[in-house]
Structure 1
Amino acid sequence: MINYWFISHTVVNGDELRARFMKPKSINEYVLNVGLVYRRYLNLNSSIYTTLNSGPMYIDTDTERLKKGFSFSDVISVGYNYKVKNVSFDAKFMFRHASNANLQMPNFGLNSSGFKIGSYYEFN
């Protein structure tokens, strides 16, 4: 937890919760997403694309924003791909939201964003 004021002082055990959640911790998530890709070719070698995927997730640690257990992970991304023969270079920006659909409390959700860059080889 980065925001000290996320847990109100009016909560009965607010100081105890704040002390518990402000400690650094490791969180493991296990996710299986299924998604769609929309790609628009700019020419023979380059394209832009967007992805949208969603699926079930298990988180193994309680956080101040999300209860340990079953949740959902949703990801949207926008990227650019450039291909030279069998090698592709790829860069994309993505946004992710994880929440448990109010199956458990708390359910404020976990939001994250990231940037990926990489390359891959296509075997013929």
Structure 2
Amino acid sequence: MARKLLLILMLLLAVKMSAQEGNSRFCFGFNYGFGSEFSNRNYTFNSHFYKLQLYYLLKETKHFQYQILVQPEINFAEHQLLNFYFVKPETPNYQQKREEYTRLKDIREFALNCGFLVRKPIGKVCSFYVLGSIGPMITDTETERMSKGFAFADVLALGFTTSYNKLQFDIRPSIRHVSNAGLGSSNAGYNTKNIEFGIYYQL
């Protein structure tokens, strides 16, 4: 009798744990993306980047889901000043800086963005969402547009997700602005349009 009760108890515990796993609020994944500056005559900026994605479901209603997203990111970029008049004569050593800044530069950016996401399910396997995120960033190269070191990355994105079992496949066009909020000597920043592709797993 005691063995039967123990077996039933263990079975109920296993069912409960399985149900908890099925209703997990966490989702973990990976994104790859690339982008470039909006067309202009002053500079070029092209990049590709990798992001880890950790989602947490805050709330779910009849029509919407509300999620928090944490995104560690590494960005590999190429930048070149095209209009050397951007460096004005009143800038100290402006001729030397014009020569330096007009060279093609490789830039590494390390960011940690935190975002808020509103998702609208469409049927049982698809959804659309809007995402806004902001976070600190470190850039390893000084340019005419931004000082080396600490900065911020702001992203506004739309996305489409389709699901298969616990896997989710995602496409996300976005607009990104990078600047240092005046904490450095140069703060013109960069504005880029991007596209990302991701795969996630429901934990």
* Residue 46 (str. 1) matches residue 126 (str. 2): yes
Q: Which runs of 5+ in 1 are unaligned?
A: none
2:81–2:144 Cα contact (<8 Å) kept: no
State which structure, 1 or 2, has the greater radius of gyration over its C-alpha atoms: 2
Question: What's the TM-score, normalizing by structure 2?
Answer: 0.54
Q: Which amino acid aligns with 1:22?
A: T
- Higher strand fraction: Structure 1 or Structure 2? 2
- The secondary structure found in structure 2 opposite 1:16 is helix
Note the C-alpha offset of 1:7: 2.9
Q: Percent identity?
A: 34
1:104, 1:43 → 2: CA distance? 48
* Residue 96 (str. 1) matches residue 96 (str. 2): no
- The secondary structure found in structure 2 opposite 1:28 is strand
- The secondary structure found in structure 2 opposite 1:32 is strand
Question: What's the TM-score, normalizing by structure 1?
Answer: 0.85
Note the C-alpha offset of 1:87: 2.8
C-alpha deviations, 1:5-44, integer Å up to 9, x for none? 4334x44644422211121222111211111111011111
Note the C-alpha offset of 1:121: 4.2
* Residue 86 (str. 1) matches residue 169 (str. 2): no
Deviates more, 1:79-88 or 1:49-58: 79-88
Aligned pairs (5 A) from 1:12-51: 13-51=93-131
2:81–2:103 Cα contact (<8 Å) kept: no
How many aligned positions are there?
122
1:80, 1:33 → 2: CA distance? 20
The RMSD of aligned alpha carbons is: 1.8
- Higher helix fraction: Structure 1 or Structure 2? 2
Note the C-alpha offset of 1:59: 1.0
